[in-house]
Copies of this chain bind each other. A is one copy, B any other.
């Protein structure tokens, strides 16, 4: 049927092993033989059978990405796609293929991962934003399979992971507001049990502290990563006798809620309230006004995760590799915070 190494060997008048050696650039193959064999391969349209190859080499040159179960927060799709792009780009460059898998629930996820790794279909796995006590993590750890975590590295500080420095990111965002002249800066946080919420809050505290500004509990509101949370936070702030003039918001999607609320009440952004949030999903440029946001380099997160995983797969244990990568962030200042608050 399809042309094999033997066909090439026969036609070239050499043994299959020689052909194989030509393929892998074995040093002991003569210039001449190599040339001839390659010619025949071209002529016959030979393509190595990846399955056969990985059967003997015990390595598949591919990795898998486990998508968290169906994202309730739809906008996460933007996140994931960007991550996947980064992952695929780097993997392909390194000669690896990427397999996407997802399960309806945790049990199915473990089954999928188990099939892929036990069945020797992939060499390692990338986990996206895993929750704490993730059974998939336990599985992978238990079987010593190579894998890398994207985000939430704090839940598993000893594991290979790629993450954002959320404390610093929040520090920078808050600092930006301060440098615009704001002194009354509120914070809209996410679910308090998530490390990302905690870290961003910490950065906010730190920036206020460093600037000698007072922390006011009533200028901090917790919520979900949902538009509605933003809306509610906004009405809370706007009803205060003393209102913040700037808001640092834990996620872009929450900002959309805030924007909408402010718009309904007739407040102007950034004149009445300045806003900056996190993640810089592609919608931030589209909102009215365009939203300042901390770009956390999502593509880069994926790219680096892929790289780290492949490195760890190929690793020969002679040297020791870093197990934690922090991707730099940067402020994307847009209209929503372009206003100098001169008292």
Contact = CB atoms under 8 A, between A and B. Distances in A.
Nearest to A60: B51
B51 A120 contact: yes
A88 interface: yes
Interface in A204-249: 227
Nearest to A120: B49
Nearest to A227: B286
A260 B97 CA distance: 42
Q: Which of A67, A74, A81, A116 has the most CB of B within 10 A?
A: A81
A47 interface: yes
Given A118-B47, A288-B263, A81 B88 contact: no
Interface string A70-95: 10001101101110110011001000
A283 interface: yes
Task: Count this chain's copies in the assembly.
Answer: 2
A85 B60 contact: no
Nearest to A114: B47
A220 B311 CA distance: 55
A102 interface: yes
Contacts of A15: none
A89 B102 contact: yes
Given A75-B282, A77-B282, A288-B260, A100 B102 contact: no
Interface string A93-121: 00001111111000000001011101111
A14 interface: no
Contacts of A92: 101-103, 112
Interface string A258-300: 0110011000000000000000001100101000000000000
A147 interface: no
A296 to B, nearest CB: 15
A92 B67 CA distance: 13
A25 to B, nearest CB: 18
Given A78-B78, A288-B263, A102 B116 contact: no
Contacts of A74: 282
Contacts of A58: 1
A78 B80 CA distance: 9
A141 to B, nearest CB: 16
A100 B101 contact: no
A256 interface: yes
B121 A50 contact: yes
Interface string A1-37: 1100000000000000000000000000000000000
A55 interface: yes
A84 B81 CA distance: 9
Q: Interface centre among A70, A77, A112, by most B CB within 10 Å?
A: A77
18 contacts: A47-B119, A50-B119, A50-B120, A51-B60, A51-B120, A51-B121, A74-B282, A77-B85, A80-B81, A81-B84, A84-B84, A88-B100, A92-B101, A92-B103, A98-B101, A99-B99, A99-B100, A264-B288
Interface of A: 1-2, 45, 47-52, 54-55, 58, 60, 62, 67, 70, 74-75, 77-78, 80-82, 84-85, 88-89, 92, 97-103, 112, 114-116, 118-121, 227, 253, 256, 259-260, 263-264, 282-283, 286, 288
